[in-house]
Amino acid sequence: MKRRVVYGAGALGIIAIVFALTMGLSFGKFSSSEKDVKLGASTPPISQVSPVAEELSNTFVSVANAVTPAVVQIQVTATPKAVNVPNDQNQPNDMFKFFFGPDFPFHNFNMPTPKPSPEHAIGSGIIVNNDGYIITNNHVVQEADHDGIKVTLLDKRTFDAKLIGRDPTTDVAVIKINGDNLPIVSLGNSDSVHVGEWVVAIGNPMGLDYTVTQGIISALGRNINIIRNQYGIEDFIQTDAVINPGNSGGPLVDLHGQVVGINTAIATNTGTYEGYGFAIPINIAEKVAKDLIDHGKVVRPYIGVQIQDVDQTMAKALGMKDPTGVLVQTVESNSPAEKADIKPGDVIVKFDGQKIDHANQLQAMVASHRPDDKVNVEILRDGKAQDMTVTLKERNSGEFASNNPDESSTATTLESLGLSVQDADKSTLDKYDEKHGVIVTNVVSGSEADQRQLHQGDLITSVDNTPIKSTGDLEKAVSTRKPGDALLFRVTTSNKTKAFLALEIPEK
């Protein structure tokens, strides 16, 4: 009996050992077999790729590698205007009125004024020379605090940037960093681009650093009415390369790796990409940037005409076979156009040898020249073609906003009210049917001027019934008043409407 028990125990032990060894070997074999598992097919489904497609793909890779290092991320810090919380019994806050009624003694409460919190935004830019100058959009940096612009490169170097100047009429701005071994972009010729051409957009959309998208040029010469300035120049390149908030100021690049545009806007109902984006032609941006760097302002010529597109009905009325060119509505007195004998009713069909089809196209062509340039202009008068030579002159009507205007400039910024103004010349005053005044060149979003409906392009003719004949007069009128005082502005709008506006000097 005892021997049978011993044998049983021994048999169980042997079985246990065999089971353990078997499981161990099996488990070990299973574990080691993981290294031998093969996933996916051993050969690609397509053995040969079209050489054209592969070359195009490689081109996009080359463009991204070549251009991205010279694209920067721009971080802007802006402090909005303080929110005033009424604590006067006569002006109770609506929330308190709702809960406590209009007869509640609001004057017993000393409601603190909330301090504005800094806001942050991200845009893009391109380094255009070894000195550290960067082209971006005006709307990217226009609200920036002093020392509120920082730039980060692809190699993660970060710099404080200085604002060199801004041009609201083209939405171009220039900032500058100080650094060594800075990568720079190559600038192309936007006049030579074509609809259907492949392009690449690079930037920092929606917080996604250094994003590259591709598409084609969808259209040229677009005017989308986003520049709220009486001298605004819109001649955008339209593209279906994906552009989103944060791309602003970044480059639109051709397949040679040359920048042909500065990404600026999108067509959207949601605030994000819906199919089309718009870029400032680099020829315009480059000219503006050079002016801001060299002169601290935009040296912009003008021809001195008011124009409109010619449609089919207008062409028929003018006896033209096809709707082409732009119709001259008025000619400014003593302007380059008047001196060249251009008259109302003429149709400008060519400018400097280039065919004209739209008013914004002519504006862009004039802006790409310099004052004192002599330009051949072909017109149709009474159905007959005539050639005119126009000598362009500089416009002195406050169409630029410079961060550092030179001492001879009449540009002035009134920070307390949030507006910039410049002396108006005789030509501008004639447009408004006024004998004196200063032109508003910029209004800061959310400022007192903005909230009281003062707009860029308005002419300020008096303050508190005192005539304003220069920017110095306006500065004096404002400087003599203290925070909390209100000033009565007399304003003439660009359509010659006159109005009174009351502006209060904000508490500091």
Which residues carry out catalysis? 139, 171, 248
Residue 134: Cβ-neighbour burial (10 angstroms; 0-12, 13-18, 19+)? buried
**Where does 12-146 show beta strands of DSSP type E?**
71-78, 119-127, 133-137
**3-class SS of residue 106:** helix
Q: What angle do CA 164, 181, 189 make, to 5 degrees?
A: 60
How many Cβ atoms are within 10 Å of 202's Cβ, its own excluded? 26
Tally DSSP H helices, then E strands, for the chain.
11, 29
Strand partners, 391: 374
Report the alpha-carbon distance of residue 18 to residue 295 in Å, rounded: 93
What CA–CA distances, in Å, run from 76 to 140, 166, 175, 260, 300? 8, 15, 12, 25, 28
What CA–CA distances, in Å, run from 239 to 68, 266, 365, 451? 19, 9, 21, 35
Q: Would you give the distance in Å from CA 248 to the centre of its chain?
A: 6
